[in-house]
Structure 1
Amino acid sequence: MSRKPTRPPDSGATSRQPRHLALDTEAVHGRGLAIVAALAHDHGVTPLPDRPGKTVWARWVFLKA
């Protein structure tokens, strides 16, 4: 079996960095980053080189049968 990394990007026009929010279990918004951090092998933010904005990404490693 080999490992195949998957890294789907999510680009946006704002340069604001995503941040973890202190939310309770009943919150219906703002938990995405915490969920990605819990499930992904790696995640981060890359600023766009040629204009304001960023790409938020996560990487999962799947075993290939």
Structure 2
Amino acid sequence: MNRPDHPAPAQPGFDRHMLEALVCPVTHATLSYDAARQELVSRAAGLAFPIRAGIPIMLVGEARRIKAE
């Protein structure tokens, strides 16, 4: 039970240093971080991978299709 004097803990944020190690699982291209949507974007594959509770979900079945720009 959340009480006003004991707020719920904030969700952990995404560690941007992970971007140095992560690549797109489809194309192996670099990813960009979209902080507003909490996603890692692979423009090469046209996919956006969600970040949930600070953890990138790098599964193609969980990714959102994005338009090629």
Same fold (TM over 0.5): no
Whose strand proportion is higher, 1 or 2?
A: 1
TM-score normalised over the length of structure 2: 0.26
Q: Which has the higher contact order (CA 8 A, sep 6+)?
A: 1
